[in-house]
Amino acid sequence: MAKGWRTDQKQDYYFRKAKAEGYRARSAYKLLEINTKFNLIRPGSTVLDLGAAPGGWSQVISQLAGPSSRIVAVDIQSMAPIPGVQVMRGDITDPNCTGRIQEALGQDADVVVSDAAPNVSGIGPTDQARSIELAIHSLGIALRVLRKGGAFLVKLFRGEDFDNFVSLAKRYFQTTRTYIPEASRKESREAYLVCMGLHEKFDLDALRELARAYGLRKRPK
Ligand SMILES: C[S@@+](CC[C@H](N)C(=O)[O-])C[C@H]1O[C@@H](n2cnc3c(N)ncnc32)[C@H](O)[C@@H]1O
């Protein structure tokens, strides 16, 4: 009871803060915190924001990257415009989505962030499997659009496939760090994986490996 009360108070805190400071979502504070720690988004960065609606992260990216940046935001749902951000409606699990993103970016990205999350069913294994699926699609897109040395930030849910996904990401990036922001709800199983220093720009072997990774775990029906 007491713990729940404290959690509610904290949710209220970030919710109120977001409202007062003009952010569309309390999740904006998670990205601000992650960026303070890892310095992923810098002035002039080219950034791809996957699972971007309603746009809290895109607002933060726009502030951090500034006027000389290139920012593309993608979501399966519609999203109201943000100055300096190109909003694209698209499903990141659709194979045609990557080509559209590349066209919108017009150049390699410095950073890809993915806060994409499924509609929560409340059934733990199902939610986790869907979350990993979105994370794998996000990684697949990141490997195709990032420049060598680029960074990838992705939301995951802690569970059975978490370690497998981290091992997979480690093959492509120099460093990977798991981070749980203060602004994440304490009862949530979410964690963020920060991957820095892409070894090589995307190659076909990476795609084949990722295709095999879809068999990380059979999805519950
Ligand atoms: C937690 S919200 C993102 C919040 C966002 N970072 C912000 O700060 O406003 C997760 C988003 O993932 C999106 N999403 C889920 N599945 C997707 C898919 N297959 N393709 C694109 N977006 C997807 C949802 O529509 C939802 O808007």
CA dist., res. 61 & res. 64, Å (int): 5
CATH code matching the domain that covers 2-216, chosen among 3.50.50.60, 3.30.70.1020, 3.40.50.150, 3.20.20.140: 3.40.50.150
Please choose from 134, 141, 185 the residue to mutate so as to test ligand 1's pocket, defined by most ligand atoms within 8 A of CB: 134
**Dist CA 61 CA 43 (whole Å):** 9
Using the mean position of ligand 1's atoms as its centre, give its distance from the Cα of residue 78 in Å: 10
Q: What percent of the chain has pLDDT over 70?
A: 90
Atom of ligand 1 nearest to the CA of 94: 19
The CA angle 10-128-119, to the nearest 5 degrees, is 65
Which atom of ligand 1 lies nearest, measured to the CA of 27?
A: 8
pLDDT digit string (tens) for 156-171? 988 888 999 999 999 9
List the chain domain ranges. 2-216
**In this predicted model, what pLDDT tens digit does every residue of 110-123 receive, in sequence order?**
999 999 998 877 77
Q: How many CB atoms lie within 10 A of CB 23?
A: 22
Helices 124-145 & 97-105 angle (0-180, nearest 10): 50
Which residue's CA is minimally distant from atom 5 of ligand 1? 52
Over the stretch 171-189, which tens digit does the pLDDT of each residue have?
999 999 999 999 888 778 8
Pick the catalytic residue from 10, 30, 155, 218: 155
Dump pLDDT digits (tens) for 29-49.
Answer: 999 999 999 999 999 999 999
pTM listed for this prediction: 0.91
Give the residues surrounding ligand 1 with Cβ less than 6 Å away: 24-25, 27-28, 51-57, 74-77, 91-93, 115-118, 134
Q: Could you tell me the distance, in angstroms and rounded to a whole number, from the CA of residue 74 to the centre of ligand 1?
A: 8
